[in-house]
Amino acid sequence: MGNSKIVMKDLNLYYGDFHALKGINMEIPANKVTAFIGPSGCGKSTCLKTLNRMNDLVDNCKITGLVTLDGEDIYDPRTDVTLLRRRAGMVFQKPNPFPMTVYDNIAYGPRVHGIKNRQKLDEIVETSLRSAALWDEVKDRLKKSALGLSGGQQQRLCIARALAVEPDVILMDEPTSALDPISTSKIEDLMDDLRDRYTVVIVTHNMQQAARIADRTAFFLLGELVEYSDTLSMFNKPKDERTERYITGRFG
């Protein structure tokens, strides 16, 4: 694939003695939605977290192999991890807005990165909330606590917060698993819009969700990447029998 945003080469990850990711080779295309699917504990979230070095925060975690973003080795000792996490923002399973106003949640990142001008911050807040399809719902409550929003709104706020620092990549770890069907569908529509400007990687345990939104899908099992291809062909004609068993629900 010519236009790969992220490349993993022979990526291995260990938690102590536990071999959590085994020789992963994958190229993630720019401006597409890529889904990681597989049963619980199969390595999909671990793999997602290697892409912005969230695993650095875990004791006794060791990584070998290569992960590049735009051709740069993100595990190179000279890598600025703060900058990396700005370029590859993470949205978690449970919405985690900061206990501050809606406005300050979005302005927080830009302020950390040195933007102090009020007019510029106002613009970033509005643009980010519009991009996360949330502006119309919160524009009259920017000065109220973000914790007063519904779960689905909080999750879109967390997406807006990730967008506010102008990332290249948005990583989402089961972003809709704590949400009701209506909020889930809003976030799926949003991912559809975001792929024009960002590279989106999502971990989901919901196969229908992967089928609906992902351009490409990777199936993980016990730390191995079993199959990786464009979503339609994987769901219609899986190449590996284990993928087929998982997709058709005859697994385990």
CB 15 within 8 A of CB 41: no
Please state, rounded to an integer, the average pLDDT across all residues of the chain.
94
Give the dihedral sign, CA 130/190/55/41.
positive
Q: What is the mean pLDDT of residues 46-60?
A: 94
Tell if the pTM clears 0.75, that is, is over it: yes
In this prediction, residue 1 carries a pLDDT of 47
Q: What is the pLDDT of residues 90-122, one digit of tens each?
A: 999 999 999 999 999 999 999 998 999 999 999
Assess contact for 171 and 201: CB atoms under 8 A.
yes
Cα separation, 220 vs 97, whole angstroms: 30
Per-residue model confidence (pLDDT) at position 21: 98
Q: Which CATH class is domain 4-247?
A: alpha beta
Supply the pLDDT for residue 57: 87
CA distances to 122, 223, 224 from 12, in Å: 43, 9, 10
The pLDDT-based confidence of 198 (bands split at 50, 70, 90) is very high
pLDDT single digits (tens) 121-156: 999 999 999 999 999 999 999 999 999 999 999 999
